[in-house]
Amino acid sequence: MFIDINTIGTEGLSFERSVRLHGLEGPSRESIPDLEARLEGTVSPVPGGAELNARLGATVPLMCSRCLETFAWDVRMAFAWKVLRNATDDDASVLVAPEGKIGLEDLATEQLYLNLPLKPICSPSCQGLCPTCGTNRNLSTCACEPVDLDPRMAPLLPFKRKTKDA
């Protein structure tokens, strides 16, 4: 599905489309099932191209970096692009469309990836997994002793154990 800026006319164009996004990956390279995204906005003609103002809405199933449970992450964001047929400079707000066509699936996928969190967390109060037994501490407690070990000192732990045994 695309919008052709060659045919929008002088009054511009409003659009509201639902697009299906395929083959997405999460921040940890986990596969994200196909999802439905909603794009709505306007395309207005400007000299040499068009001005695109749009909003993206989608619900993405992501895996929490702490507890490894899947949760729904809502994407609601607005963006604006100047669409040109020819690249003039390295302006980050320019979308080059040599044939004058804007691919909505590609645009939605790009905006979704730009807004994915690097370390998704299901909630700020997520307690994660027990580092000893792997129990999800949000669902149950475990009997493991808390370990107060500075992670910078972890490589020295085998040496410490050897000296205790000697």
Whole-number average pLDDT of the chain: 87
Pair 19, 84 in one domain:
yes
Q: Please, are residues 42 and 12 in contact by the beta-carbon 8 Å criterion?
A: yes
124 in a structural domain = no
Q: Name the domain count of the chain.
A: 2
Domain that includes residue 87, residue range: 2-114
DSSP secondary structure, 16-59, as one string:
EEEEEE-SEE-TTSPEEPPEEEEEEEEEEEETTEEEEEEEEEEE
- What pLDDT shows up at residue 27? 87
**Interatomic CA distance for residues 124 and 53, integer angstroms:** 32
Do the domain assignments include residue 25? yes
Hey, what are 54's tokens?
């749009």
List beta partners, residue 74: 59
Condensed to tens digits (0 to 9), the pLDDT of residues 103-134 reads 889 999 999 999 999 999 999 999 999 888 88
pLDDT digits (tens, 9 = 90+) for 19-57: 999 999 988 888 999 999 999 999 998 887 889 999 999
The answer to whether the pTM exceeds 0.95 is: no
Residue 76: inside a domain: yes
- Are 77 and 146 part of one and the same domain? no
Same domain membership, residue 65 and residue 142? no
Domain check: are 153 and 102 in the same one? no
Q: Using alpha carbons only, what angle is made at residue 29 by residues 27 and 32, rounded to the nearest 5 degrees?
A: 85
